[in-house]
Amino acid sequence: MRECFEVRDTDVGGRIGELTVPRADVTVETPALLPVINPNLDTIAPRRLATEFGAEILITNSYIIHGTDDVREQALEDGLHDLLDFPGAIMTDSGSFQLSEYGEIDVTTEEILEFQHAIGSDIATPVDIPTPPDVSRERAEDELATTQERLELADEIDTGEMLVSAPVQGSTYPDLREAAGRHADGTDLDVFPVGAVVPLMNDYRYDDMIDAVAAAKRGLGADAPVHLFGAGHPMMFALAAAMGCDLFDSAAYALYARDDRYLTVRGTRHLEDLDYLPCSCPVCTAHSPADLRALPDDEREEALAAHNLHVTFEEIRRIKQAIRAGNLLELVEQRARAHPTMLDGYRTLLDHAAQLERADPVSKGAFFYTSHESARRPEVLRHHQHLDRLSVPDSLFLTEGSSARGDEFDDSWRVKPPFGPFPRALSKSYPLTAEAPDRTDRAALEAAADGVTRLVESNPETEVTLGHKGWPAGVLETLPEEVALVDLTADRT
Amino acid sequence: MRECFEVRDTDVGGRIGELTVPRADVTVETPALLPVINPNLDTIAPRRLATEFGAEILITNSYIIHGTDDVREQALEDGLHDLLDFPGAIMTDSGSFQLSEYGEIDVTTEEILEFQHAIGSDIATPVDIPTPPDVSRERAEDELATTQERLELADEIDTGEMLVSAPVQGSTYPDLREAAGRHADGTDLDVFPVGAVVPLMNDYRYDDMIDAVAAAKRGLGADAPVHLFGAGHPMMFALAAAMGCDLFDSAAYALYARDDRYLTVRGTRHLEDLDYLPCSCPVCTAHSPADLRALPDDEREEALAAHNLHVTFEEIRRIKQAIRAGNLLELVEQRARAHPTMLDGYRTLLDHAAQLERADPVSKGAFFYTSHESARRPEVLRHHQHLDRLSVPDSLFLTEGSSARGDEFDDSWRVKPPFGPFPRALSKSYPLTAEAPDRTDRAALEAAADGVTRLVESNPETEVTLGHKGWPAGVLETLPEEVALVDLTADRT
């Protein structure tokens, strides 16, 4: 078990964890949001982040501090916590972002780690190479090799109680991301940012972002705290949390406020386009859109930043509550409808159902079938996998109906879309207690048919009859030929 | 045009309207929430509803006032607005609910209308018969006849400036609901509650609720303000608004608070089950769940009622903003994932796509394809209807690709799921500018194929070739035989 991180609760790939930050003498509960503080300019004072918004941790940039004479001197003299006046944990970035933006920076990993230590950072970052998406494989490999050298170097430096992060790169090559994760996991470093995903998020490539995170997670151990570096829009937090991201940072709250942009979990709105404020945070209950527009620039920026932070922290709390209650995927279902690219992200998440299944709890409160996508949830996959292990009589009636037909068959099992067949004794077990709409859909029926197929294929000796309620021909055709069919709706007419 | 109601903006069946309430000298913007005030017991004082929550209208029960001696005398003496200390419009119910609960009441429509007038109600209600769901047709017809007599009586009584509502009954018989709507619309009454839907909502029968509203709307004119009587859970407001409901009332905010129940747009939570508060309203930013649990009973009830009201009014503002922005269905897409029965409700709403299409604006900002259900949106239906009117050459290439093949065909049109074919000149017109996920789904392809079929069937002389990107055989089989097929993905490999 990694010493600084303990997982307390899980749902899908999401988890509630405790990140112990010894240098700050603080335990941060994850999923956590790290507001980004520009050391030269704070829209919302760090003290207020802690007291008004409950921020337990923030992130600032040691490279900017290092490069700004008066700030550097003050940071070295008084320490970062006094400089920023923040009582929680402080993570620092290293200049990697500036490296990716401007092509070069004037510090080495050793220098910047030493500087981060000197100013009292609680979680430091080496200078990794944030390789952008879609570069040549050769470049991705070369830059990853450099990143890995720097992580090894960082691993060797004595940083005392300060935690050090180990960014996971690899561009859009899943095998490189996985290898990078495995390498980082092999160091004694502490926190694992999935790096260089900002360009993906800027282009709404949530599918590729999920693939990158999924690959990094395969390399990292389950006990590694994962930071989705640069992910600041609350719309995608639930999706990323479900894939196993524990830390998010938001510069968006302040940057967007500067441009009169208003964050919502359904996307970003421009203040001038709002006739109503779809929020009940303290800012939005005290103002109308016209009130906000009429404020002087600096007050408007601060008000919007405060709103943006409120919805962001609110979503973090919502995600934690969903993990606790075991309905994180139900939340993702809703967030996936915020934008077609979010649906792409969710559909991609479900491509990784087998990977997610391994961490997903065996039992939860309820399974709500709320879209065609629900048919691909890890619980459905798990049920299909378990079908192989069930013992089956010589003749079996699988039925959506209630009549058992005991005179004709050795046994009768229930069939419930999207799961498929199961012995009646399991009816009250999760996830077979699922609630589903009366108006079912083809995806649920296809998944149920897959379950029937799986059962038949692992029990070739058993004679199987399926009693279904009007399944379409296209679904029935996917079943093995030897399955006898009874249409129960035809029976009743 | 009905004098008291003006529709300002529409999206799907939803609208932003102005309900002019002359007796209160107030204009209420719809969709509006009417908090329910028990005249004997207010959890949140009416004055605070106006100032803190922006309530423009509330509803209270004239029958309870009539039956409580001291309150009745005070109401008759000082008037309802002084009694409740509320500056906005006040609607009153008549005792119909008590009739449905206890089988009898001791006032007539004349008496209670006169009483409502005497105490200064702004919108009064006659004593209709709230016929429950699933009763015999005979009972539904008999009770509807009684309701209609009472509406006719109410129509004849001189009520001065006071508006009077005309409840639409008919149980779960759509034709009766439609006839009831048509009858009510034929009176000079002013506001049209869809009545007796509470039992449907209590049983999560959102599908039947939508069918009842859709039927009532077919009978009522487009200019009739429609009140979904007893609908207090914000989870279903967007769905109901999209079907054309303008007024909601909430007793839930107070009743639920009494039982420590916490409203969210994703469903109801019990305070004891909350480890985090998934909200940023003034109550939830100032308290933790433990703080709330530790409050004395009356303070906790008030705090929860205030939270419940905040999320309820927030959802009303969100719906208004969505109507303004033309993305109400995108909001419904999300709310439909709150519970499987909400998905049933949304799927039922889409059964009424043709009815909704008639009011839906021809152009909006964007069409987001965010689920299989999106393929059944009114915009898709409209596009298919318009295909009949387009003039078509002798040979036509319909293609998902970019190559026009001008040497082989007279013309080349684009094909875009879920819409199907259209001339390239329409590419920049709504809804063909739709954004869709890269990972398309069968529902989108099936809808596109329906579009192709429709075009072919209305142009039997034209030779049509379809260039598709790997559509599954089951979808291609739905096309008319004479359509030639080119698989563009096969081309490229």
Q: Which residues contact A133 (CB under 8 A, 6 or more apart)?
A: A171, A172, A196, A199, A200, A205, A208
Q: Tell me, letter by letter, the H, E, C secondary structure of chain A.
A: CCCCEEEEEEECCEEEEEEEEHHHCEEEEECEEEEEEECCECCCCHHHHHHHHCCCEEEEEHHHHHHCHHHHHHHHHHCHHHHHCCCCEEEEECCHHHHHHHCCCCCCHHHHHHHHHHHCCCEECCCCCCCCCCCCHHHHHHHHHHHHHHHHHHHHCCCCCCEEECCECCCCCHHHHHHHHHHHHHCCCCEEEECCCHHHHHCCCHHHHHHHHHHHHHHCCCCCCEEECCCCCHHHHHHHHHCCCCEEEECHHHHHHHCCEEEECCEEEEHHHCCCCCCCCHHHHHCCHHHHHHCCHHHHHHHHHHHHHHHHHHHHHHHHHHHHHCCHHHHHHHHCCCCHHHHHHHHHHHHCHHHHHCCCCCCCCCCECCCHHHHHCHHHHHHHHHHCCCCCCCEEEEECCCCCCCCCCCEEEEEECCCEEEEHHHCCCCCCCCECCCCCCHHHHHHHHHHHHHHHHHCCCCEEEEEECCCCHHHHCCCCCCCEEEEHHHHHC
Confidence check on the interface: ipTM exceeds 0.90, yes or no: yes
User: Which of A29, A209, A280 is best to mutate for the B interface (most B CBs within 10 A)?
Assistant: A280
Tell me what the pLDDT averaged over chain B comes to: 95
Confidence of residue B103 (pLDDT cuts 50, 70, 90): confident
pLDDT of residue B469: 96
- Residue from the list B277, B310, B318 with its beta carbon closest to the beta carbon of A278: B318
A131 secondary structure, DSSP code:
P
A165 class by beta-carbon count within 10 Å (0-12 exposed, 13-18 middle, 19+ buried): buried
CA distance B243 to chain A (A): 19
Q: How is residue A10 written in tokens?
A: 């899980």
A278 vs B contacts (CB less than 8 Å): 314, 317-318, 321-322
Cα–Cα distance, B60 to B254 (Å, whole number): 13
A132 and A171 in contact (C-beta within 8 Å)? yes
CATH level 3 topology of B5-355: TIM Barrel (3.20.20)
Q: How far is A389 from chain B (nearest CA, A)?
A: 30
Tell me if B185 sits within 8 A of B221, measured CB to CB. Answer: yes
pLDDT grade, residue A407 (50/70/90)? confident
Instruction: Give the pLDDT mean for B138-150.
Output: 97
The pTM of the full predicted model, rounded to 2 decimals, is 0.97
What pLDDT, on the 0 to 100 scale, is given for residue B405?
83
Residues B379-407 have a mean pLDDT of 92
- A330-341: per-residue pLDDT in tens? 999 999 999 999
Q: Does residue B335 carry a pLDDT above 70?
A: yes
Number of neighbours of residue B389 by Cβ within 10 angstroms: 7
The percent helix, strand, coil of chain A (3-state, each to 5) is 45, 20, 35
pLDDT digits (tens, 9 = 90+) for A347-390: 999 999 999 999 898 888 889 999 999 999 999 999 999 999 99
Cβ of B338 within 8 Å of Cβ of A370? The answer is yes
Residue B491 predicted with pLDDT over 60: no
Calculated CA dihedral for residues B4, B8, B13, B14, nearest 10 degrees: -90
Q: What is the H or E stretch that residue B349 is in?
A: helix B340-351
CB B53 within 8 A of CB B65: no
Q: Is residue B165 very low, low, confident or very high in pLDDT (cuts 50, 70, 90)? A: very high
- Given the residues A42, A69, A78, A93, the one annotated as active site: A93
At residue B493 the predicted structure's pLDDT band, cuts being 50, 70 and 90, is very low
Do B143 and B131 form a contact (C-beta atoms < 8 A)? yes
pLDDT higher than 60, residue A493? no
Question: Which residues of chain A are in CATH 3.20.20.105 domains?
Answer: 5-355
Residue where the block lists tokens 């109410």: B154
Point out the residue among B368, B442, B474 whose CB comes nearest to the CB of A340: B368
| Beta-carbon separation of A318 and B278 below 8 A | yes
User: Is A4 labelled as part of a ligand binding site?
Assistant: no
Task: State pLDDT tens for residues A302-320.
Answer: 999 999 999 999 999 999 9
Q: What is the mean pLDDT of residues B412-435?
A: 96
